[in-house]
């Protein structure tokens, strides 16, 4: 172990030492502070963590967060799969366009997108007004200001996060394998179900974990599109930090989130090298 570590040691690492130290100081120190706070505020002990099992509010909060994130993950990855699949089977020029559009939407601020949904799907939004004016419905449909709205906003935001790892995965699959399946007598559907889907499993898992982890920290979208009714962990932490000043609770929840995310990242890394998700493989 030590000998391999020594062999792997590269003197160029010395060059990034100052940056590493800065990161440690500016990033890791506050995290340790958070962990520390979670067992010391308001009094030392595991009182904050005890609330996790005692407080229905916290249990519901965590459940809401997990539920919303799971549903978001399901839809974002399903739709992202379709997008990635279409891109893989499009002509080279079309694919470049699709990737550009995807990247642009990736860079549009979450706020702009959230408010766009509000304008589009609100009671007096474009969709409801149109449906009412053509007589499909008489009362506006509540697309937003509820959990459905949160899901729409989050799924929309998360699709590019799902597409990129899926694309990286799909790019690595030899198209001849699917041809082989066809030549062996399998229909398109059989080929998809028995060959393509299993081969994209690592991509699906990586995309799911990435989307799920990113969803956990969602704050603005649930706050606005949820109409205040869909309280997720990130917003709750912020309220505990800034409004009710229950830093112990906030720190405890933050620690739980941190540990869960690290755990998921560890799993993610086993399925797909993290670097390849956004790395050089994406042309």
Partner 1 sequence: MQESETGTRQGPSQYLKMESSGKKYVRHGDLVLQGLTKKFGSFNAVDSINLTVRNGEFLTLLGPSGSGKTTLLMMIAGFVDPTAGQIILDGSDISNLPPEKRNFGIVFQGYALFPHMTVEENIAYPLEVRHQSRSMISERVKEMLDLVQLHGLGSRYPRQLSGGQQQRVALARSLAFGPRILLLDEPLGALDRKLRVEVQNELKDLHSRTGTTFIYVTHDQDEALSMSDRIAIMDRGQIVQLDGPTALYENPVSVFAANFLGKSNFVRTTIMDIDKTGMQFRTGDFLIRQKIRQSGLAIGNKATLAIRPEKIRILDPSKSEKFNNSTNAVIRRISYFGNVLEIELVAPSIGEITASVPAWQFQGSHSPGQSVTLCWDEDAAVIVRDDDAVGET
Partner 2 sequence: MQDKRFMQEMAVEAATAFQAGKMDRRTFLTFCGLAGVATLAVTTGNAEAAAKEIVMWNWGGQSEACHAKAIGTPFTAETKIPLKFDTSGPLQGKIKEMVDSGKVTADVCDADGFDAIALGKSGHLEPIDYTIVDKKRIKEGFALEYGVSVIFYGYAFMYDTKAFGANPPKNWADFFDTKKFPGKRSLYKWGNGSIEGALLADGVAPKDVYPCDVPRALKKIKSIKSDSIYWGSGSEAHDMIVNGEVAMGIVWQNRGKSIEEDSKGRYKMVMNEAIAMPGAYIVPKGNPAGREAVMKFINTAMTVDAQLTILDCLGMTPSNPEAFAKIPAGLQPYAVNSKENIDKVIFNDPVWWAEKGGDAVNAFLDAIG
Instruction: Verify binding: residue 190, partner 1, rule CB under 8 A.
Output: yes
DSSP state string for 195-239: IIHHHTHHHHHHHHHHHHHHHHT--HHHHHHTTT----HHHHHHH
Closest CB to partner 2 among residues 68, 83: 68
Q: d(Cα 26, Cα 135) in Å, to the nearest integer?
A: 58
Q: d(Cα 89, Cα 36) in Å, to the nearest integer?
A: 51
Q: d(Cα 205, Cα 190) in Å, to the nearest integer?
A: 21
> Which of 184, 245, 259, 262 touches partner 1 by CB under 8 A?
184
Tokens 């002509």, located at residue: 91
Closest CB to partner 2 among residues 83, 251: 251
CB of 182 to partner 1, least distance (A): 4
> Which of 56, 92, 139, 174 touches partner 1 by CB under 8 A?
174
Q: Six-digit token pair at 44?
A: 């030392």
Closest CA relative to residue 217, chosen from 257, 157, 162:
257
> Which of 7, 18, 43, 56 touches partner 2 by CB under 8 A?
56
Q: DSSP secondary-structure letter at 243?
A: T
Instruction: Verify binding: residue 92, partner 1, rule CB under 8 A.
Output: no
Closest CB to partner 2 among residues 57, 188: 57
What does 88 bind: partner 1, partner 2, none (CB cut-off 5 to 8 Å by kind)?
Answer: none
Question: Cα dist. 13→16, 163, 208 in Å?
Answer: 5, 33, 33
CB 7: neighbour CB atoms within 10 A?
8
Binding mask 189-228 for partner 2 (x = CB under 8 A): ----------------------------xxxx--xx--xx
What does 229 bind: partner 1, partner 2, none (CB cut-off 5 to 8 Å by kind)?
Answer: partner 2
Question: Cα dist. 264→32, 203, 214 in Å?
Answer: 20, 15, 11
CB of 238 to partner 2, least distance (A): 6
Q: How many residues bind to partner 2 according to rule CB under 8 A?
A: 53
Q: d(Cα 151, Cα 75) in Å, to the nearest integer?
A: 9
Which residues, 233 to 252, sit near partner 2 by CB under 8 A? 233-247, 250-251
Q: d(Cα 81, Cα 36) in Å, to the nearest integer?
A: 41
> Which of 15, 82, 177, 263 touches partner 1 by CB under 8 A?
177
Closest CB to partner 1 among residues 79, 178: 178
Selected range binding partner 2 among 2-10, 75-83, 112-120, 130-138, rule: CB under 8 A: 112-120
Q: d(Cα 180, Cα 3) in Å, to the nearest integer?
A: 46
Q: How many residues bind to partner 1 according to rule CB under 8 A?
A: 18
Contacts with partner 2 by CB under 8 A lie at 26, 30-31, 33-34, 56-57, 60-61, 64, 109-112, 115, 118, 122-124, 145-146, 217-220, 223-224, 227-231, 233-247, 250-251, 253-254, 257-258
Contacts with partner 1 by CB under 8 A lie at 174, 176-177, 179-187, 190, 194-195, 198-199, 201
């Amino acid at each position: 172990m030590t000998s391999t570590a020594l062999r792997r040691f590269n003197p160029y690492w010395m060059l990034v030492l100052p940056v590493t130290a800065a990161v440690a100081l500016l990033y890791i120190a506050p995290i340790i502070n958070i962990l520390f706070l979670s067992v010391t505020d308001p009094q030392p002990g595991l009182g904050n963590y005890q609330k996790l099992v005692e407080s229905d509010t916290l249990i519901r909060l965590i459940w809401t967060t997990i539920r919303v994130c799971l549903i978001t993950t399901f839809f974002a990855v399903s739709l992202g799969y379709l997008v990635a699949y279409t891109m893989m089977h499009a002509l080279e020029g079309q694919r470049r366009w699709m990737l550009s559009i995807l990247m642009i939407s990736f860079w549009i601020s979450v706020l702009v997108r959230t408010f766009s949904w509000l304008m589009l799907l609100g009671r007096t939004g474009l969709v409801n007004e149109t449906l009412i004016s053509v007589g499909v419905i008489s009362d506006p449909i509540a697309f937003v200001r509820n959990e459905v709205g949160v899901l729409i906003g989050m799924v929309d935001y998360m699709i590019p996060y799902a597409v990129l790892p899926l694309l990286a995965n799909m790019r690595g699959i030899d198209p001849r394998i699917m041809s082989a399946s066809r030549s062996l007598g399998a229909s398109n559907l059989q080929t998809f179900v028995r060959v393509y889907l299993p081969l994209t499993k690592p991509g699906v898992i990586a995309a799911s974990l990435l989307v799920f982890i990113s969803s956990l920290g969602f704050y603005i979208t649930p706050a606005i599109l949820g109409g205040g009714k869909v309280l997720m962990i990130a917003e709750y932490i912020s309220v505990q930090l800034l409004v009710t000043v229950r830093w112990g609770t906030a720190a405890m929840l933050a620690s739980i989130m941190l540990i869960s995310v690290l755990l998921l990242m560890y799993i993610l890394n086993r399925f797909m090298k993290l670097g390849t998700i956004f790395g050089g493989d994406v042309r």
